[in-house]
Structure formats: structure tokens, C-alpha cells
Amino acid sequence: MKIETDIELILNEQVRHEFESAYAYLGLCSALNALNFDGFAHWMRKQYREELEHADRLSDYIQSRQGVVQLQDFKVKNFTLKCPCEAFKMAYDLEVSNTKNIHRAYELAVKKHDYPTQVCLQWFITEQVEEEEQCSHYMGLTHRIATDGNLQAMMELDRIAGER
């Protein structure tokens, strides 16, 4: 069954948001590399790749429903960081925004009785719980460590993040 126009539009908006998030994660990766936090940078690069996979997954879904993927412009951000906790706060905010957008798309799918889109978006809803939890975890730890001024603990957490 062909996807309805308003569902197609909101999913295309989500594709744009996934690409924007990917680009932001790549920027955070670069900013963390500049601070010599290679492990945190690695973590952000993994997130970058995940966001690209999410955009691909949604694009494939739109096309499977005979829709057209409309690539859209997105905001480009450059990041200058003083501390890894700033990067994880930005990452957390990205994920919260992403969750809100996915919920909005899901609500429209429910309203339109578009059951296949509801199933597709259920995967993203579940994924967002994990994404927010991970960002929140690192945001809290890096903030606490930065507040304590414990560089050794920050370097150890950086090493752990690099194992992801």
C-alpha cells in the first residue's frame, strides 16, 4: 500500500533529522579529538555511523511503501568544547529532540491508522530509549568527573568509551 503524503513528509523530516544528528556527532568527534579525548571521539564516531544507519533504514522504508525520499537541507554546527561533558550534553539534547520527532511521527501514524509505519517506528522508539540512556549516562559521569577536577578518572572513562 502506497504511503500517505503526510506520513511520507514527516518521515522525510525524520530522515533529515537523522542526517543532521549524524553530522553533529561527526562534529563532536572532531572537537573531542582536538581535546585529545580519543575514546570519547571514537564513541561519537560510532554514534555518527548509527545515525546514518537510521537515515538509511527510514529511507528504505519510505521507498518500500512507494514513497519518495526527499533529501533536505540541515543546519551545520561547528563545535568548540572545553570539556567532554559539554559534548555529551549536546549529544543528549540531540537524542531527546530525535525522540520527540519520532513520537510525533508515530502519533500521526496512529491517527492515520498506518499500521506498517507504526511497526517501523516502534523499532526507533525502542532504539531511542537506549540512545538517551547512553548519552545521559556519559553526560552524568563526565559532568561529575569534571566538577571534581579528576583528570585521571576522565582519562579512564575516555579509555572505556573507546572500547565501544
pLDDT tens, position by position, for the chain (164 residues)? 899 999 999 999 999 999 999 999 999 999 999 999 999 999 999 999 999 999 999 999 999 999 999 998 888 788 899 999 999 999 999 999 999 999 999 999 999 999 999 999 999 999 999 999 999 999 999 999 999 999 999 999 999 999 98
Are 18 and 53 contacting, i.e. CB atoms less than 8 angstroms apart?
Answer: no
Distance of CA 156 to the CA centre of its chain: 24
pTM above 0.75, yes or no: yes
Beta-carbon contacts of residue 56 (< 8 Å; ≥ 6 apart) = none
Radius of gyration of the chain (CA): 17
The number of C-alpha atoms within 13 Å of 42 and in the hemisphere containing its C-beta is 11
Assign residue 25 the CATH number of its domain. Answer: 1.20.1260.10
- Report helix, strand or coil for 80: coil
What's the Cα-to-Cα distance from 136 to each of 22, 69, 90, 108, rounded to whole Å?
18, 32, 10, 28
Grid cell 492515520 is found at 112
Grid cell 525522540 is found at 99
- CA atoms of 118 and 138, how far apart (whole Å): 30
Task: Give the end-to-end CA distance of the chain in Å, rounded to a whole number.
Answer: 40
Number of separate domains in the chain: 1
Handedness of CA 77, 82, 83, 85 (dihedral sign): negative
Q: How many residues would you count in the chain? A: 164
Domain span at residue 131 reads: 5-161
- Report helix, strand or coil for 66: coil
